[in-house]
Amino acid sequence: MSAPLRLMAVHAHPDDESSKGAATMARYVAEGAEVLVVTCTGGERGSILNPKMDRPDILENMGEVRRQEMEKARQILGVQQRFLGFVDSGLPEDENEPLPEGCFALQSLEAASAPLVAAVREFRPHVILTYDDNGGYPHPDHIMTNRVSVEAFEAAGDPDRYPGTGEPWQPLKLYYHMGFTRERFEALHNTMTERGMGSPYADWIARWEDRPQKWEVTTRVPCAEYFEIRDLALLAHATQVDPDGFWFVCPRELQEEIWPTEDYHLARSLVDTTLPEDDLFAGIAAGVTPACS
């Protein structure tokens, strides 16, 4: 019997896994793949973004609350999950403001990457999902998450690198999330406007005028039937997601109709594949055993 396909999604904080690629993960779980979410930090310095949860007792125990929320989301998505154990760097209001001592974004690349290399060698993913080199948006933890993900992809298969972190394993494909593209938001905005619903996306689209898209979308994964699971996983992160807020302004039924995919950029591939793709595992056969470098 062939082994199942394995997908690893590397994220900065609890809740990121539910706002980026959640329906894709739920689809692959339903199809029999093994999916592991690796969360680099505990989200300890996150703000309470849901006014209904703005309570002093939560602020005092933010790290534990966010772990509990992550466990609820994990169960909803049907994925495995582990924390790497680094401390949230927070999001400075001023770019010149120093980051907190000891936080994730201030770790050396080797120190920050070693536990992820160990996780790759243990879980043995065929595909890794992460953010682009700007972190999707320039949060210091998201940028560091990209750096450690690229490092782990390139190093985990090399027996001479990161000794003591397990037997080498070479992932075959590395993808960047591309869910927040101008094309997608324009499509949703135009449809909502045409149907007289009002749209929350005009300001977002206007801000894209001076932000050319660096990475092209190479891969669109159909997963509309899992958008409900995505939304439930988002709601599990109750301190971070307002059920009356931005994430839910556009009706799910309209999203399923207008944009039924989650989108990615293929950043690295060690297998032959034809672009555009509709499957993160395109070019990878179940049970494949990649050679170590």
Binding residues for Zn(2+): 13, 16, 142
Q: Is the peptide bond before 276 cis (omega within 30 degrees of 0)?
A: yes
Contacts of 134 (CB under 8 A, 6+ apart): 143, 146, 214
Q: How far is CA 158 from CA 10, 165, 167, 193, 208, in A?
A: 20, 11, 9, 52, 40
The secondary structure of 231-263 as a DSSP string is HHHHHH-TTT--TTSGGGSS-HHHHHHH--EEE
Question: What is the spatial order of strands in the sheet that 34-41 belongs to?
Answer: 80-86, 34-41, 6-11, 127-130, 173-177, 261-269, 219-222
Q: Is 10 helix (H, G, I), strand (E, B) or coil?
A: strand
Tokens of 266: 């293929």
**Alpha carbon distance 239, 225 (integer Å):** 26
Q: Please name the residue that has the structure tokens 């001076």.
A: 210
Q: Is the dihedral of CA 213, 219, 223, 228 positive or negative?
A: negative
**Alpha carbon distance 203, 224 (integer Å):** 26
**Alpha carbon distance 64, 227 (integer Å):** 27
Residues making up the binding site: 13, 16, 142
- Check: CB of residue 52 under 8 Å from CB of residue 242: yes
- Check: CB of residue 23 under 8 Å from CB of residue 226: yes
